[in-house]
Amino acid sequence: MTIQDLHTKAIEFAELAFIQRFRGNLNEAMPLFKEAFTYESKAALLSLHEKIGEPSISVLLKSAASLAINCEEFREAERHISIGLSGDPPAEIAEELRNLLEELHFQRHLKLQGVVLEPTDLQLVFAGPGIGYGMAKSDDVLDRIHTFEKIALRTIERKSGKPFRERGNIPKEIRMNIQPYISVPRAASFALTIRFGGGSKQLQIPGFENSVQIIEDVVDNITLINQGDYNSLKGKITNDTYFKNFIGLSKELAPDGDEINLVGITILREGVEKTVQFTRKRKEIKTSEFITGEESAISKEIHSELIGRLSAADEDKSNIRLTLQTGIKYFVKVPEGLGDIVKKYWGEQVKISGIEIRKNVIELRDIDPA
């Protein structure tokens, strides 16, 4: 078969594989991906042997490596990426190969190499330009661990039927039993295990669902955020305040697209790994459209985007203060559910989007680090 014939067969099998995976038929998709990889690998290696030139060679090698990752042939993926990078690929293809290698490391750690998870455990994996071999910026990792803890706490409160708590202390029985314990980090893509509930395998809090169900609920809902399926999420989180809070906290957990490109979450359910590859970037997750409902309803209001230093003002009235570089001060009203997100940025430079209520007073829609 010619290179073109092999490549065409690879495309045919790959299309069938993606269709099956989209339908949730993973057992049917895997052998199709393997067939696609086999044909594309033969095409790539033949192109190399026949010296057909760039960018064709590196494009085929990249395609074969991508298919190898899809069918979990990680060593083969690594081999094809290395061959591609050892040649003379165009700069943009070389960068794509490096990104694919980064994803490969990420996938390998998602497979829990030698790591045994308990029902109350989850594995977090971080990958991106800011992640080194077993090293990561503490803010990038610790902030996300703290955010995940907040998501778990809010989920317990929601699932137990408690009204949303804008302020005040977390009930002691909840905090004591959902306290996260962190493992020693593992190298390559930065990976660690978090255990909720102080090591209990099946924690049961009186009046609450057990922590295994809580963690599974969180993972399922983050999957919906990653897919952009807010309608299904709304069906699961019917309370508007908890709904906005979950979206806002998920935005804090999401990759920033600069230092971190991937956040992976893996749990073990009845001996089967359940994984979320959280790749939706922070900037793609907007809380604004979920605060007032339909965007058309606020389209005629005056929108503002301000950059300044954030500080507390009147917590009882859900007000914060934003001081611009010019010295001008704004009061920013915080809608219910977004207090968890705002407090993180006190004393920091932030970019705030909001609706002008009156002079120097705006209602918050979105907040990001400046």
- Kindly state whether residue 334 falls inside one of the protein's structural domains: yes
Do 96 and 233 belong to one domain?
no
Q: Write out residues in the chain with pLDDT < 70, as ranges.
A: 22, 24, 106-117, 132-134, 172-180, 184-189, 197-211, 271, 288-302, 313-318
- Kindly state whether residue 115 falls inside one of the protein's structural domains: no
- Kindly state whether residue 296 falls inside one of the protein's structural domains: yes
Q: Which of the listed residues 230, 252, 284 is the one where a domain comes to its end?
A: 284
Q: Which of the listed residues 284, 303, 318 is the one where a domain comes to its end?
A: 284
Provide the domain limits for residue 316: 292-369
Q: Quote the CA–CA distance of 40 and 31 in Å, as a whole number.
A: 14
pLDDT of amino acid 137: 79
Do 355 and 304 belong to one domain?
yes
- Kindly state whether residue 116 falls inside one of the protein's structural domains: no
Q: What is the CATH number of the domain that holds 302?
A: 2.40.50.140
Q: Which residues of 288-307 are buried (b: 16+ CB within 10 A; e: fewer)?
A: eebbeeeeeebeeeeeeebe
Q: Which of the listed residues 235, 266, 284 is the one where a domain comes to its end?
A: 284
Structural domain total, the chain: 3
pLDDT of amino acid 187: 56
Do 299 and 342 belong to one domain?
yes
Do 150 and 106 belong to one domain?
no
Do 97 and 168 belong to one domain?
no
Q: Which of 65, 125, 128, 132 is nearest to 94 (CA)?
A: 65
- Kindly state whether residue 250 falls inside one of the protein's structural domains: yes
pLDDT of amino acid 202: 42
- Kindly state whether residue 27 falls inside one of the protein's structural domains: yes
- Kindly state whether residue 157 falls inside one of the protein's structural domains: yes
Whole-model pTM: value is: 0.67
